[in-house]
Amino acid sequence: MTLAWFVRTVRTGDSHLADAGWNGSDLIRPVCAPEVEFRPMNRRPLRVCFYDEQRCPLCLGHTAARPTPPTLLTAVSS
């Protein structure tokens, strides 16, 4: 699953990672808390979060555990 950022609120730490294959209408289930759904403020999945401080630290922890962080996918060609 490719992950992208979804903005729940503009507060610090309240943009979360979820499946980048979002259909644009479903509620988002963030990787840090899949049981807590929300409707994102952004209309398109964000591969890179605009502001570092808006990224959820729990979601960032999920990216650290993955072999290829989603923020680097656009820079890597195979």
In angstroms, the first-to-last Cα distance of the chain is 18
Q: Per CB under 5 A, does 45 bind Zn ion? A: no
Tokens found for residue 42: 């952004």
CB of 8 to Zn ion, least distance (A): 8
Q: Which amino acid is it at 38?
A: F
Exactly one of 58, 60, 63, 73 binds Zn ion (CB under 5 A); that residue is: 58
Exactly one of 3, 4, 6, 16 binds Zn ion (CB under 5 A); that residue is: 16
Q: Per CB under 5 A, does 4 bind Zn ion? A: no
Q: Which amino acid is it at 25?
A: S
Helix (H) or strand (E) holding 19: strand 15-19
Q: Which is nearer to Zn ion, 65 or 75 (CB)?
A: 65
Q: Per CB under 5 A, does 56 bind Zn ion? A: yes
